[in-house]
Amino acid sequence: MTTRKHPLDPHEPEGRSETVEAPESRLASSMEGKIAELESSLAEAKDRYLRTAADFDNFKKRSRQQQLETIQHASADLIARLLPALDDLHKALDHKPQGVDESWVKGLELSVRKLEEALSAHGLEPIHAVGVPFDPKLHEAIGYEESTEHPEDTVTSELRRGYRIRDRVVRPALVKVARPPELPASDGESTA
């Protein structure tokens, strides 16, 4: 004869109630693991999103800056081609012949002024050279002048005006730079 134990038999070990709870605790720990994994994936995705958003924002700023620079300097080539004509007009005014009608000269001066205003509306400005220290970024030295009036390496005269558009040099100024006078050469002979 076999004896059956009643499920609530006090002599039965409590393993049965543990087997019921064990799957629930395994399920809970499994769910907690899944939640932690999903939170980690969410954090990584959020980090990627923030980096991508920052990269895109930086790209937009760079693109805007490049576009602005392109617009600002788009006319620099055309302006550089017009500068020799402007130089010639200034030379014509500086060397006007005797007996020329003054109204004609005034008209030419007005035309030169209008051209300069049109070019300055696009950001063109002359580079001031005379009396300032020589700067190889702004000036092109083509000679020296001995001078006691100016400190060494100071621009003494401007042979051709230089121009820039905002921070970009379109054409450097052609200048002469001060140099201290050379001392007279001695023969090396001493008189006694």
Q: 111-168, pLDDT tens digit by residue?
A: 999 999 998 988 889 998 898 998 889 998 988 888 878 788 889 988 999 999 878 8
Judgement on whether residues 121 and 167 belong to the same structural domain of the protein: yes
Q: Are 173 and 162 in contact (CB under 8 A)?
A: yes
Most confident of 7-11, 17-21, 47-51: 47-51
Judgement on whether residues 85 and 160 belong to the same structural domain of the protein: yes
State the pLDDT confidence band at 100, using cuts at 50, 70 and 90.
confident
pLDDT at 58: 96
**Residue 4 domain flag:** no
| Token pair belonging to 185 | 């050469």
Q: Residue 32: helix, strand or coil by DSSP? A: helix
Judgement on whether residues 106 and 142 belong to the same structural domain of the protein: yes
Phi, psi values for residue 150, rounded to 5°: -110, 145
Judgement on whether residues 58 and 87 belong to the same structural domain of the protein: no
- Running DSSP on this structure, what letter comes out for residue 166? T
Judgement on whether residues 131 and 144 belong to the same structural domain of the protein: yes
Burial class, 122, CB count within 10 angstroms (exposed 0-12 / middle 13-18 / buried 19+): middle
Q: Which of residues 48, 74, 100 is at a domain's end?
A: 74
How far is it, in rounded angstroms, from Cα 157 to Cα 178? 9
* Mean pLDDT, residues 173-188 taken together: 77
Judgement on whether residues 67 and 133 belong to the same structural domain of the protein: no
For 47, the domain range is: 20-74
Which helix (DSSP H) or strand (DSSP E) does residue 158 occupy? strand 155-160
For the chain, what percent of residues have pLDDT higher than 90? 31
The overall average pLDDT reported for the chain is 83
Q: pTM for this structure? A: 0.57
pLDDT at 192: 44
**Residue 31 domain flag:** yes
